Amino acid sequence: MHENRLKIDRGFSLVELLIMMAMMAVLAAFSVPMLTSSMRDMRMMADAKNIATTVNYARMSAASQMTCYRMTFDLDNNAWSLSKLNRSTDNYEIEQSANILSEGVAGSGITFKTDSDGGPAGFPTSSASVVTFNSRGIPVEGARVLYISNQKEDYAVTVSLTGKVQFWRHQTDGWNMQ
């Protein structure tokens, strides 16, 4: 007794699996560099926004607590800290210890830039190492700027004469406020 059974193939053949794996490898080869670049850009923007937020916090705290606040930038070690003036000792006490810029991806670290070829209009081309706010939230040293770079693009955090904190990105047509 010989029965005719229909053979039903289920699953994929080895050739089909290999073709699919090759297609996925090609797709991954194109997407990984784009993902790396996107992550580097996001870290850079996050660092710049974090600095701008901390500077703004220092300005508002100085005005609300009627005391001086100072942000110190270590341009060589890519770190910054926030200090508050203790009026009884006349010394600055650290309120936020050293914050460090992101390491970056694949050796393309984010760094403070000491000088820029050209800054946002009305601001110096050299990064400030200190921003001090008086008890009214006005910068003691005048207009200040801090440049951040990742070898691909530049960002700037500015403090105007009135204490307004702004965040800028350098593009082909110049500096644009973000």
Q: For 136-166, write each residue's pLDDT tens digit.
A: 999 999 899 999 988 788 899 999 999 999 9
Q: Which domain holds residue 160?
A: 14-177
Closest C-alpha among 138, 117, 118, 116 to residue 127:
116
36 within some domain: yes
32 within some domain: yes
Number of other residues whose CB lies within 10 A of the CB of residue 97: 9
4 within some domain: no
Per the structure, the count of domains in the chain is 1
3 within some domain: no
Number of other residues whose CB lies within 10 A of the CB of residue 103: 11
State whether residue 95 is helix, strand or coil.
strand
Spatial separation of the C-alpha atoms in residues 145 and 166, rounded to whole Å: 9
Q: For 89-144, write each residue's pLDDT tens digit.
A: 999 999 988 888 887 555 557 888 888 888 888 888 888 999 999 999 999 998 99
Q: What is the pTM of this model?
A: 0.77
Can you say whether the dihedral through the CA atoms of 58, 63, 64, 66 is positive or negative?
Answer: positive
1 within some domain: no
9 within some domain: no
CATH code of residue 126 = 3.55.40.10
Q: pLDDT > 90: what percent of the chain? A: 45
The structure tokens 């220092």 sit at: 58
87 within some domain: yes
5 within some domain: no
